[in-house]
Amino acid sequence: MNNEHETKEIMKNIFFEVFPNLDKNDFSWEKEQKNYENWDSFAQLNLITFAEAKFNISLTLEESIEIKSANDLLKIVKQYLG
Amino acid sequence: MNLIDFLRRSVENYGEKIAVIDNEKNLTFIQLYEEIKKFSNNIKILNEEKIISLVSENSISFIIAYLGIINSGKIVHLISPEISEINLFNQLKSSKSKNIICNQVIKNKISNYNSIKITILDIEKILLKQNNKKIQYNINDLAYLIYTSGTTSEPKGVTVSHSMIEFTTKNIVKVLGYSNLDIDLLPLPLNHSFGLGCLHTSLYVGSTLVLLKNPSNLEQILKSLKKYKITTLAAIPATLTKILNFENKNLENYFSEIRLIITNSTAIPQKTVIQFKEILKKGNLATYYGLTEASRSTFMIFDKNNQREESVGKCSPNVEIKIVNEEKNNLKIGDIFIKGDNVIKKYWNNTEADKNIFHNWLKTGDTGYFDKEGYLFLKGRSDEIINVGGEKVMPIEIEQIIRNISGVEDVVAFGIEHKIFGQTIKINVIKSKNSDIDKSQILSYCIKNLEKFKIPSKIDFVEKIPKTDYGKVKRFMLK
């Protein structure tokens, strides 16, 4: 099982993969969807697919809709990882 | 010319030459013709019947029976030995065939099918009969009936005429340069348009045809290349890709005398094309696009100077192809229509399917586009389009990208229901031997090479992808 530091690193990398133009200095856990240039519904789907693949989990539709920031996704993933 | 004229031509020109080799057996053109005439006479008992069904694996007996039935003036209904009881029942019902000819092993199998009530005859027993009567037959305009393989829908009966065969065979010879000097290796079932086209070509030019029964026996294919000094090989893309993975050393040696490998238009991985371009020192890899309804409608020769590894080539001589879309623009993706003497006039007892043929144009159900130089690129079937939140995605595009990932042996993409998007994309992936690739590596590659809406939302690693004998994915089994 990943420890919290590892989980956060993996999560950050997911964001950098899905948003290749995202500057490392521009990433923040609280930054909201509306402040991302390319975070549309397809990017949302990509983020969830990546998280599911990386952590071997499966999010519900309700959980998927709630995600508005990196922190939201991190919280849900941590719940699955216990 | 009909198919029997093809054979007579080779009997006259190359009578004593070996026409066909099946393991340790072989027949010259003269011997083959004599056996065919004998077979025709011996099935005269079936004279009242217009159609005779033939079920057999690749063998000399198959060729004798196939041509013997045609020579007797009847239509051959070709059936795969792998056919299920329900499909056999449906095909017999549709074709109205009253007799099946097959070998003893298949006869034993079919005899156990409770739903099959018609006469089943043994090929070998027919061949052993002595009947020296000379009977004159009138060759039927139609040569054979094949039910299409059903990759997306229920099978449809396709009747192929002698004039279609003549037209197509002459195009094959003209474009691919077959001659009596060739020795052709055929590890493809003869109950399909691809394999049959190769048989017809060999009969027409007077080359020697070497039959193999099992397209998966790569060792036998490679050994046969050397043993028989093969000059042309016909194989589906999956076989070619497996050969590259099976035998990395000495491949150039095995293929040193090959002047042509012909494959078909089932998506061939770009890396397979590139590798075979390197391996073939004296020859070329070629592909074609065609359907049983419109055989060999394009040809593509992947020569060293042509970088269009994903194209199926240009229209065959005297074949027209048009792309139908809202823009009426051949350069944009649309439905592919084909017109030419290789196209069927109608389906067998199927008025619904006949609606796909209008003013001699066949609606193929495939989609694609031409580039500015007239090379055709296939993009999949119109009924396979995945609609992701209003964005249209062709599975073939996803598959082509993912096949390029090291560690992926094969992949199929298809739509799955999604409450928000309507559909999203799922992929089933077969890993290469010893590959430890994981889902996130595949996603990373997709992110770099595909638009956002084309990224699969679900990935499963599987052992097998359901396919027809000819390597086409049975997509209806994935839904």
Q: Where are the domains of chain B?
A: 3-163, 214-382, 385-477
From residue B364, alpha-carbon distances to B225, B267, B358, B408 in Å are 35, 16, 12, 30
> Which of B419, B429, B443, B450 is most worth mutating to test chain A (most A CB atoms within 10 A of its CB)?
B443
CB-nearest to B444 from A17, A41, A61 is A17
Q: Write the residue in A43, A50, A61 that is nearest to B443 by C-beta.
A: A50
Which top CATH class is B214-382? alpha beta
Q: Which helix (H) or strand (E) holds B170?
A: helix B162-176
Cross-chain Cβ contact A43/B452 below 8 Å: yes
Grade residue B45 by pLDDT with cuts at 50, 70 and 90: low
Higher confidence at residue A37 or residue A43? Answer: A43
Residue of A nearest to B439 (CA): A53
Residue in B with minimal Cα distance to A57: B458
Find tokens 């970088």 and name the residue: B307
Among B259, B268, B272, smallest CA distance to B288 is for B268
CATH assignment of B385-477, among 1.10.3720.10, 3.90.1150.10, 3.40.50.300, 3.30.300.30? 3.30.300.30
Kindly determine whether residue B389 and residue A50, on different chains, have CB atoms separated by under 8 Å: no
Bridge partners of B315, per DSSP, are: B298
For residue B86, the tally of other CB atoms under 10 A from its CB is 10
Confidence of residue B144 (pLDDT cuts 50, 70, 90): very high
Is residue B420 very low, low, confident or very high in pLDDT (cuts 50, 70, 90)? confident
Q: Is B419 on the interface with A (CB under 8 A)?
A: yes
Yes or no: say if B4 and B70 are a contact pair by the CB < 8 Å rule.
yes
* Facing B389 at nearest CB: one of A41, A46, A65: A41
CATH T-level assignment (fold) for domain B3-163: Rossmann fold (3.40.50)
Q: In this structure, are residues B149 and B470 in contact, taking their beta carbons and an 8 Å threshold? A: yes
Asked whether this chain's domains B214-382 and B385-477 adopt the same fold, the reply is no
Domains, chain A, in order of start with CATH, read 4-81 (1.10.1200.10)
Q: How far apart are CA B475 and CA B479, in angstroms?
A: 7
What is the interface size between A and B, counted as CB pairs within 8 Å? 43
**Of B62-71, B156-165, B176-185, B209-218, which gets the smallest average pLDDT?**
B209-218
**Pairwise CB contact (< 8 Å): A50 & B459:** no
Rounded CA separation B438/A17 (Å)? 16
Q: Give A65's contacts in chain B (Cβ within 8 Å).
A: 420
Write down the pTM of the prediction: 0.79
State whether B447 and A20 contact (CB < 8 Å): yes
Which pLDDT score, from 0 to 100, does residue B446 have?
Answer: 94
Structure tokens at B151: 């990759």
Indicate the angle between helix axes B60-71 and B29-42, nearest 10 degrees: 60
| C-alpha neighbours within 13 Å on the C-beta side of residue B293 | 25
Chain A interface includes B421 (CB < 8 A) = yes
Percent of chain B with pLDDT over 90: 61
For B337-368, how does the pLDDT look when each residue is reduced to its tens digit (9 = 90+)?
999 999 999 999 888 899 999 999 999 999 99
Rounded to the nearest 10 degrees, the angle between the axes of helix B395-403 and helix B439-449 is 110
